[in-house]
Structure 1
Amino acid sequence: MQKFLLYLFFLFAVSGLAQTKISGIVVDQDGVGVPFANILFKAASEGTITNDDGRFYLESDNTYSAILVSYIGYETKEIALDKRVTYDMEIVLQESAEQLDEVVVYTGKQSKKNNPAIEILKKIWAKKRQNGVYKYKSYQYDKYEKIEFDLNTIDSALIKSKAFKGLEFMFEDLDTSRITGKTYLPMFLNEVFSKVYGNNQIKAEKEDVLGNKSSGFAGNQAITAFIEDLYSDYDIYNNYLKFYDKSFTSPLSKTGVDTYNYVLADSSYIDNKWCYNIIYYPRRKNELTFKGDFWVADTSFAVKKINLAVTKSANINWVKDIYIEQDFEVVSDSVFLLKRDYMLTDFAFSKKEESKGVYGKRTTVYDNYSFNLERPVDFYKAKADPYDPRVFERDSLFWKNARLEQLNDDEEGIFKLLDTLKTVPKFKTYYNIASVLGSGYIEIDKWNVDIGDLYSTFGINDAEGIRVRGGARTYFGQNDPWRLEAYTAYGFDDKKFKYGISGKVLLDRKNRIILSGGNRRDIEQLGLSLTSTTDVLGRSIASSSLVSVGNNDRLTNINLSVLNLEAEPVKNLRFRVGASFRTLSSALPNSFSLDYLDDSSHTGISSEIKQFDINTTLIYTPGRRVIGYGVERYDVDDDISTLVLNYTKGAKGFLESDFDYERLQFSYTQPWQLGGFGRLLSTVELGKTFGEVPLGLLSVVPGNQTIFSLYNTFPNLDFYEFVTDTYATLHLEHNFNGRLFSRVPWLRDLNLREIVGIRAAWGSISEENVRLSSPTNIPLLAPENKPYYEYSFGVGNIFKILRIDFNFRGNYLDAPNARPFGVTGTFGFNF
């Protein structure tokens, strides 16, 4: 959520080099806008199509004297251009009196039968894995990527506004987008040059990053990670293209015939290759689809060029436009290789034409292809270090040779502009606000300290009443090799201070060997996770939330000390071994007891647990991408699978530890992108405790007495309602992303999204463990005879930020104070 708060700040903050520029609207004889009409410069392949309302903008670095406007069922119209810049054109198309012999005319919804465009599409499917680099045993190429963020829709009112008073020099050099025709101001630029190597026989590919250069917010990991997260690689031949955590149906998809209308519109020579031009547009509104056209060769059926524009009715938030262009070059007379990939996103609060926002532009250029070079298998396993400091320190000569597409004057000026802006107090204030929203910390540069986390400042619980918390961390830069962090908290009811302190140091950067440790004395809501906490800086949303369901009185005093050693010898495979010592006691002994039988006590009962544990954990996160190379790194994309194997050994007697036991746990979390059917998130968790332990060390099925929807918890369970030493849980949550609601006319325009969930838990507890904790006032019950389950129905994207879940308890309804129904919700800024 912090990333999206940062993103919203960007939105809130908010005569070129081309030789020919045109804009306007295409209408029919009744004055109604004609969507998806073709606009082409005469005697050229440069062009665009009109949007849903018939409007268009087109520019070129070349000079043209005329344009051709065409649409199926209408006469093609040629219009002379008397000057280089012609805006606000109104072009009226006349209905065609007759059809050309060589073109089959389709209008409206297209038939799937006897459609020549679909016949061509089938041949594309058949050969999609025989084109490009797939035709060779091995390949390599150079890749240059440029990501830019620009403030757009700059007008005199914005320039003269109070927000930019004193910053007017920023607007001295403005450019105009060749896609939208809007004036924009570049604010951020990141360049990456790399070499890519692949082997189709062993299906291996690696990318060695040789240079990485940023301007703008380059020093802030949270902002950089947010920007990186917006863009991921894609292949237009895939059935679905993933952007902003949404799966859009590709126009080249095998399911495209059910999603798009296709029209064979034209044929022509492009680079001495006879190509067909196919127009496509969606069959229905509110789905994640594109509109546009592509040119495909008539023998290899490889795409020569394609453009994709997201329809305005698509169910996606904070995005007004997405436009994509891909161009392919022909090699050896038959091989089509990706040459240039351009993507522009217009981020804005509103999809209205006049709304201001931020452009996000990514340009990727590919060159210097080589094929069938013999290399050993180990070559593809050996990865270069993308976080080698030398990668970020390349000189101007390196970048002069590395740029496969040279920066224009505006892009060159970004570096100078940002250097100047960093000296302006008002801009530094804006930057600091963006940084705080993104990271939750206030930067104190002169002390190399950050104050925060601000998102953990306030809370309420039954033991402390109103609770406040404040903290700080060392911060010399985003790649610090060590970091110290601490917090203190105070409860106004118990009148006690709490604290936590943590330190970590990176011992070996190549293998990611990290030594960490710390101590925390605080009040905690245990039982929110089946795994015992080892986080000395943790903030439990249950003990720090502002509102609870029922009595939130099962809280624990915890004194936790930990020491861990972590290593990542293989990318995304982490090993962690550590030791912890904890002391646990009830924070509200009158209403919640952790008492257990203890022969060594003079009363035969103890109310405090002292426990020393040795813990070994293996974490595997395939596909994980991160930012930075210091002791702390930021995940770029959290849409990854996670496998965790954990072994814990309790050692009785050491440091007066109370119990001998062993615990083995496994969890597997997997997000599933199901194309047009949305996204499914699944988690399976299994665990077994060997030995006798009291309530404070058992595995509690995670209840949820907050009003927030928390994944991996059971919202209709109270804390400690089910307690186990052997367990298995399953969580399934599917977001249809509006696929069902989009079929309902009166719901369609609200862009709501439907979420369904099911949760189940099975567990058992031994008679020995029940007897050991018999003095406690908490009944130790496990869902052993039949699995406990819940199901829920949710509505998301309410006002674009709110989600509400209606949760139902499936069984165990006769349990004391059972909650058969509950409503939870959450706020979030999701695309």
Structure 2
Amino acid sequence: MKHLLSLLLLLTTNILSAQLTIQGKVVDEFDTPMPFVNVILKNTTHGTTTDDNGKFYLKTNKYRGTLEISFVGFQTQTIKVSQKTKFLSVVLKEESNELEEVVIVTKPKKRLKKKENPAYRILKEIWKRKRKNGLDLVDHYQYKKNTSIEIGLNNLDTLFLKKIFKKEYKQALQEINYDSDGINYYIPIYLNEQVANVYGDNKNDNIREDIEAEKSEGLSAQGFIFDRMANTFQNVDVFKNNINLLQKPFISPLSTDGFSTYDYVLYDSIVNNNKKLYNIYFFPRRDGDLAFQGNFWVADKNFSIKKLKMKVHKSINLNFVRGLTFEKEFEVRNDSIYIPTKNAYEGDFTFIDKNESNKGLTIKKNITFKNYVLNKAFPKNFYEQAIEKIRPDQYEKEESYWEAVQTNESKNTYKLIESVKEKKQIKNLTGLINTVASGYINTNLGVQIGPLWTAFANNQVEGFRTKMGFRTFITKDDRFRLGGHVAYGFKDKRVKYGAEARYLLSYKPRIAVGVAYQKDIEQLGSTLLNTTQLLGRSFGTAALFSRGDNFFLSDIEKIATNFDYQIQQNLHIGFNFSHSKIASASERNFSMNYIDENGNMQSQVTDVASDIYVSFTPGRFVYGLGVERRFGRNVFPTFVLNYRKGYKGPFNGTHSYDKIQFKYSQPILLSKFGTLDASIEAGKTFGTVPVALLSPIPANQTFSLVKDTFALLNYYDFVTDEYLAGHFEHHFNGYILNRIPLLKKLKLRSLVSFRAAYGNISQENRAINDGLTNSSGAYNINYNAPNKLYYEYSVGLENIGYGNLRFLRIDAIWRSNYTPPTGSVVAPTPKFAIRIGIKPGL
């Protein structure tokens, strides 16, 4: 009897833990694979769709059931399945209600002209109406929006799972889902859910979004990288001609210029609920173009989009990106208004290459829209009241709230995250991802070590330089952050250091304060305009390899404070106050001597100054609610205006002066022709000041490319008290090289750049600086200004690398004629050079 009970218990356990695993392929009557076919286990929430090859994979903890296979325009099939069912070959037949007048076409081997393509007529109607259809047709609207962002590890094999779960391994297999390939496994590590109510006023072009509730769980707190990946999926508006994705302009399949980028195929048309629908597939004309592949359903008469599914074509190399997919669904009301009902975005990220067997990160962002109310108006001022999230815990709700609104799937996800987030292997893997992305190493003490990129450097003053930095980090929303560094030069045998503390005084209005102390060597003039950076972080002292000798470094002891007030989102006003003692870091080779007002030679400047600045970045996406924030990789302009006042007398300040500076920069999307990065800077100094307080044109003697600098100038080649500089860089994003048969296989992208500077220096400033020597006999530099336009131009190749890592760039650079003045101690500058650029990350 005892053995019989054990046997019954064993059989019962096997039945309860049984899983139904089915693979198959769906084709039409002509044996053509059918993508995007729905495969659902009836009376359950388990289902999937076929891939581009018509294949599907479905796993469920049921042990039998009825499989329903359906596709618009085809007869639905139902098949009984059990554990004995392993592989299904399914043939779908067309429905009898298909319109006979529409000819089904396949992608032609020879490209059809517009008028010969049946899809062109439909697309022309979409273009006419896409600005008129949708919620824009009503004066007022409101709806509820549910958003979920899930991050997980994919392509995990059983060996990895055994290391994580150990004795709980068998139980974990019952809870963990298969990956999309149906072979390896997927583990969620972070989930954020948000419920919001949206109110729109089209009469006055106002939208108000009130967050009702928010909940997060998982490992995102280690850094900003997971947020940056998740924020890859901002609102993708397919009705615009260009879709900004990872700061690159992708051509929308609904673009009015779509036929120059895509091949369109009218696949079929059917009548569904007395409405005619057209199904159009689209394919990039050329591999490597910034375009998508997918299909969309179009409603007849009003020609509104019913459903769209697309993905980034696999031939496009985006750093760390293995795949991106987008799906949108709409509901058509009153034959004229289409309203969104669902957005589903998914990204697959890897660090080495696109090999499907490599472990990676999956980012899923799902948005559902429901409870629409149209043409119900509120008072005008109701829509103007913006409700802004200012605290991390602002919209937390009790568990009873989430019990009522969450699906079983999300509840299971939270449960699984709870069980894996403290696993050592998971924390190590996510920590490694954060380290590679940010350069900081996590510790268990609430402190991160880094950045690793500046750990080693070399220059003529310090020789080989080592530097160890740190910052406090508990979560990305910390109100207080302390950072600093300690450095040592093996040639000058000196220890340098610096520390900076920042604190968020108020969430609303957003007010942040900071204080810093630095005693270090710095390359002055590496940037023309700096507002909120308290500690010097010049690349001139952080480079490991440079051309020529550079003794033009400054020894700086500095105390600085910052007060930053956010007037509104992306509009800041701030105040800085600093006290700096500046002298030459190598008096034997570089003199910073100047003549004071009494005719005496001085070697040190004490700069006591205040700054008032205004920064405006309309449209910039900002995330993080702590004192340190991060910015999404969207496209926005930047305007900065800074007024600096120097004080003579107070705190032993040596000079009184005024300086005003302005900078404007903006990436400009030029559709299929690429992206133009443009920036313009201008400034003027009023008063007589030594070189330490003037404006050198930013030079770059390293072998790497640095934004807004001149690669073929030496430091202090040009020194100005009034200047105008412009930097223009156009990235073709493959527009040229993708059209050359042999080169397009290399997946390279071309670019061109032009940068120029113009400026002057007054006779008064020349007189107190020029031609002086110090006690060691070192000469001051000759104060030469670019009163004749100086410029550099280059051509380059980018997207260089291996597999999924293509962040290298090589530029060939030329410059205009320029000869240093007679008697200059500066080494001659090259007329031509090759430089390397590195642009990692998303």
What does residue 637 of structure 1 align with? 633
Any idea what the Cα deviations from partners look like across 1:317-372, whole Å, max 9, x if unmatched?
A: 43333332211123345422110111222334443454443322211100112223
- Which of 369, 383, 387 does residue 386 from structure 2 map onto? 383
- The reply to whether residue 801 of structure 1 matches residue 807 of structure 2 is yes
Deviates more, 1:345-354 or 1:622-631: 345-354
CA contact (8 A) 2:178 2:184 kept: yes
Compute the displacement of 1:121 (Å). 0.7
What does residue 283 of structure 2 align with? 281
Deviates more, 1:516-525 or 1:162-171: 162-171
CA contact (8 A) 2:319 2:807 kept: no
What does residue 367 of structure 1 align with? 370
Residue identity over aligned pairs, in percent, reads 34
Compute the displacement of 1:613 (Å). 0.8
Deviates more, 1:124-133 or 1:79-88: 79-88
Any idea what the Cα deviations from partners look like across 1:715-739, whole Å, max 9, x if unmatched?
A: 1111111111111111111222222
- TM-aligned CA distance change 1:765 to 1:790, over 3 Å: farther
The equivalences for 1:160-199 within 5 A come to 168=169, 170-176=172-178, 183-199=185-201
- The reply to whether residue 818 of structure 1 matches residue 823 of structure 2 is no
- Residue type matched to 1:828 in 2? K
- TM-aligned CA distance change 1:329 to 1:67, over 3 Å: closer
- TM-aligned CA distance change 1:252 to 1:585, over 3 Å: same
Deviates more, 1:674-683 or 1:729-738: 674-683
- Size of the aligned set, in residue pairs, is 793
CA contact (8 A) 1:41 1:68 kept: no
Any idea what the Cα deviations from partners look like across 1:636-662, whole Å, max 9, x if unmatched?
A: 336432110000111112222121211
- Which of 654, 678, 681 does residue 677 from structure 2 map onto? 681
- The reply to whether residue 585 of structure 1 matches residue 612 of structure 2 is no
Compute the displacement of 1:821 (Å). 1.0
Hey, what's the Cα distance between the residues in 1 that align with 2:291 and 2:278? 22
- Residue type matched to 1:366 in 2? F
The equivalences for 1:523-534 within 5 A come to 523-531=521-529
- The reply to whether residue 253 of structure 1 matches residue 252 of structure 2 is no
CA contact (8 A) 2:154 2:179 kept: no
What does residue 505 of structure 1 align with? 503
Hey, what's the Cα distance between the residues in 2 that align with 1:807 and 1:614? 38
Deviates more, 1:485-494 or 1:136-145: 485-494
- TM-aligned CA distance change 1:16 to 1:311, over 3 Å: farther
- TM-aligned CA distance change 1:215 to 1:557, over 3 Å: same
What does residue 560 of structure 2 align with? 562
What does residue 306 of structure 1 align with? 308
Hey, what's the Cα distance between the residues in 2 that align with 1:329 and 1:281? 25
Deviates more, 1:762-771 or 1:101-110: 101-110
Any idea what the Cα deviations from partners look like across 1:115-170, whole Å, max 9, x if unmatched?
A: 3311111111111122221111122211111112233334445545x687678465
CA contact (8 A) 2:302 2:335 kept: no
- TM-aligned CA distance change 1:112 to 1:21, over 3 Å: farther
- TM-aligned CA distance change 1:167 to 1:386, over 3 Å: farther
- Which of 206, 225, 229 does residue 227 from structure 2 map onto? 225
- Which of 136, 143, 153 does residue 134 from structure 1 map onto? 136
- Residue type matched to 2:669 in 1? Q
CA contact (8 A) 1:57 1:178 kept: no
What does residue 460 of structure 1 align with? 458
- TM-aligned CA distance change 1:466 to 1:179, over 3 Å: closer
- Residue type matched to 1:383 in 2? A
Hey, what's the Cα distance between the residues in 2 that align with 1:178 and 1:491? 52
TM-score by length of 1: 0.87
SS across alignment from 1:594: coil
Hey, what's the Cα distance between the residues in 2 that align with 1:702 and 1:771? 23
Any idea what the Cα deviations from partners look like across 1:197-225, whole Å, max 9, x if unmatched?
A: 22222222232323222222232341343
Structure 1: unaligned runs, 5 residues or longer: 1-14, 71-75
Structure 2: unaligned runs, 5 residues or longer: 1-15, 773-778, 822-826
The equivalences for 1:719-734 within 5 A come to 719-734=715-730
Any idea what the Cα deviations from partners look like across 1:440-499, whole Å, max 9, x if unmatched?
A: 4444445x4444344332221111112222233344443333333332222121111112
Hey, what's the Cα distance between the residues in 2 that align with 1:230 and 1:302? 27
- Residue type matched to 1:282 in 2? P
Hey, what's the Cα distance between the residues in 2 that align with 1:598 and 1:188? 62
Deviates more, 1:708-717 or 1:478-487: 478-487
Hey, what's the Cα distance between the residues in 1 that align with 2:273 and 2:57? 22
Hey, what's the Cα distance between the residues in 2 that align with 1:356 and 1:113? 46
Compute the displacement of 1:616 (Å). 0.4
- TM-aligned CA distance change 1:55 to 1:321, over 3 Å: farther
What does residue 484 of structure 1 align with? 482
What does residue 4 of structure 2 align with? none
Compute the displacement of 1:55 (Å). 5.0
Deviates more, 1:339-348 or 1:317-326: 317-326
- TM-aligned CA distance change 1:144 to 1:590, over 3 Å: same
- Residue type matched to 1:756 in 2? V
CA contact (8 A) 1:209 1:391 kept: no
SS across alignment from 2:220: coil
- TM-aligned CA distance change 1:220 to 1:425, over 3 Å: closer
Compute the displacement of 1:669 (Å). 1.1
Hey, what's the Cα distance between the residues in 2 that align with 1:770 and 1:516? 36
The equivalences for 1:275-354 within 5 A come to 275-348=277-350, 349-354=352-357
What does residue 4 of structure 1 align with? none
Compute the displacement of 1:110 (Å). 2.8
The equivalences for 1:670-749 within 5 A come to 670-749=666-745
- TM-aligned CA distance change 1:803 to 1:93, over 3 Å: farther
What does residue 9 of structure 1 align with? none
TM-score by length of 2: 0.86
Hey, what's the Cα distance between the residues in 2 that align with 1:26 and 1:269? 21
SS across alignment from 1:812: coil
SS across alignment from 1:659: strand
- TM-aligned CA distance change 1:147 to 1:23, over 3 Å: farther
- TM-aligned CA distance change 1:77 to 1:477, over 3 Å: closer
Deviates more, 1:76-85 or 1:545-554: 76-85
Compute the displacement of 1:437 (Å). 3.7
SS across alignment from 1:749: helix
Hey, what's the Cα distance between the residues in 2 that align with 1:60 and 1:164? 21
